Amino acid sequence: MSFKRVCVAMSGGVDSTGAALLLLRQGYDVFGVTLRLRSDDPRAQEPEIEAARAAAGVLGISHTVLDLRDLFRTAVIDRFVSEYAQGRTPNPCLDCNRAVKFGAMLDWALEQGADALATGHYAGVAFDDVSGRWQLLRGRDRRKDQSYFLYQLTQRQLSHLLLPVGEYEKPALRALAEKAGLANAHRADSQDICFIPEGEYVAFLERHSGAELVPGDFVDQAGRVLGRHRGLPCYTTGQRKGLGVSADTPLYVLDKDPATNTVTLGPDSALYTRELRAKRLNWISIPALEAPMAVTARTRHSQREAAAVAEPLPDGHVLVTFQEPQRAVTPGQAVVFYSGESVVGGGTIVK
């Protein structure tokens, strides 16, 4: 597909600014957009909006602020709160990419006359003539590869997507931005969930759910009470610190049960499993999973891939069996499948 006019999602950081710079140098007609997403604190995003606007000015492109606060609240924040209330640990960046960035923002960009949307994600897009499908590829910089976060993209979305920084390593992109006179060339990367500054997610959940934390029992694998917990949202699978339970050996969070309001603790060895089930599947390199397929898989963005077999189940779920046991597989997180450089697809881990 031949693109001429491209909308670049500009967050104010060097990655998205670098994407705009690269596209301009490749001869595209570029304009920028920054999303206003925070309804809880209208001024919280002002620094990044101003940084994006300033970068657009240096690049000589137009810049728009698009207000998607209502959608962000319902599709991302409300779901985040709901998932935690049900004992799961969601990844809000995945929901934001699906519904907001590559949903509403892409639709808006096309309505403005753009042929494509570009972002600063470290990943790649290519059309495969053999399969007749758009492929999502890993980024060249393996330390920054963000293909995991994009596994929910559809063929339509991929067909209108450019990811120019995917061919670069981060230091090279910073050097390019610095040489172009961009003030954000060395701006620090964002680490926290954007709507939960400094990781204070328990306080955030209390404010936005309208419900107080409900204390309950810590139990061992046999059901024996070990102590009291502060509320299910305070804990996640694999957690060791902050439990407040004394034992002869280190204890870790193994499971959370909303039905009984209990948190099961046990040894590190009990955190390992060779199987998981996933739902809400999205397939990219293939139309559907119709037979067992050898893949490599990640159960968290930060974890290394592991060899596995993905097998379709009659209920529409997928059974994933790993060659080696995996630690702290967490309901609510995503499992993403790879074959070589391509993302096969992925889904949400269920208990």
Q: Per CATH, is 213-266 categorized as 2.30.30.280?
A: yes
The owner of tokens 């470290």 is: 122
Q: What is the pLDDT of residues 89-115, one digit of tens each?
A: 889 999 999 999 999 999 999 999 999
Beta bridge partners, 308, equal: 295, 322
CB 31 within 8 A of CB 20: no
DSSP assigned state of 102: I
Per the rule left: phi > 0, alpha: psi between -120 and 50, beta: everything else, 198 is: left
CB 18 within 8 A of CB 118: no
d(CA 349, CA 331): 5
Mark whether 96 is an active-site residue: yes
Strand, coil or helix: 42: coil
Range scoring the smallest mean pLDDT among 200-209, 289-298, 312-321: 200-209
Q: Please state, as a whole number, how many other Cβ atoms lie within 10 Å of the Cβ of residue 28.
A: 21
d(CA 15, CA 190): 11
Mean pLDDT of 66-89: 91
Which residue spans of the chain are classified as CATH 2.30.30.280?
213-266
Question: 142 falls in which pLDDT band (50, 70, 90)?
Answer: confident
Q: What is the pLDDT of residues 264-278, one digit of tens each?
A: 999 999 999 999 999
The owner of tokens 């061919």 is: 167
pTM for the predicted model, two decimal places: 0.93
CB 323 within 8 A of CB 332: no
Q: Which of 7, 93, 96, 234 is catalytic?
A: 96
pLDDT for res 294: 98
Let me know how long the chain is: 351
Query: Nearest 5°: phi and psi at 270?
Result: -80, -5
Strand, coil or helix: 129: coil
Mean pLDDT of 136-144: 92
Contacts of 142 (CB under 8 A, 6+ apart): none
For domain 272-350, give its CATH number from 2.40.30.10, 2.40.10.10, 3.30.450.70, 3.40.50.620.
2.40.30.10
Contacts of 59 (CB under 8 A, 6+ apart): 17, 20, 21, 24, 30, 32, 180, 182
Beta bridge partners, 285, equal: none
* Tokens linked to 347: 């889904």
- Helical segments of the chain, H only: 14-25, 46-59, 69-72, 78-85, 92-95, 105-111, 155-159, 170-179, 201-209
d(CA 81, CA 111): 32
* Tokens linked to 30: 């570029």
d(CA 145, CA 154): 19
Res. 131: pLDDT tops 90: yes
d(CA 330, CA 319): 15
Res. 211: pLDDT tops 70: no
Q: What is the pLDDT of residues 250-266, one digit of tens each?
A: 999 999 999 999 999 99
- Helical segments of 86-136, H only: 92-95, 105-111
Mark whether 93 is an active-site residue: no
* Strand pairing report for 334-339 and 133-138: unpaired
What is the residue-averaged pLDDT of the chain? 93
Which residue spans of the chain are classified as CATH 3.40.50.620?
5-193
Contacts of 27 (CB under 8 A, 6+ apart): none
Q: Which of 40-54, 67-81, 192-206 has the highest mean predicted lDDT (pLDDT)?
A: 67-81
Which residue spans of the chain are classified as CATH 2.40.30.10?
272-350
Mean pLDDT of 34-51: 87
Domain spanning 5-193, CATH architecture: 3-Layer(aba) Sandwich (3.40)
Can you state the angle between helices 201-209 and 78-85, rounded to 10 degrees?
Answer: 100
Strand, coil or helix: 36: strand
Type of residue numbered 85: A
pLDDT for res 191: 63
Q: Please state, as a whole number, how many other Cβ atoms lie within 10 Å of the Cβ of residue 138.
A: 19
Strand, coil or helix: 7: strand
d(CA 239, CA 330): 11
Res. 1: pLDDT tops 70: no
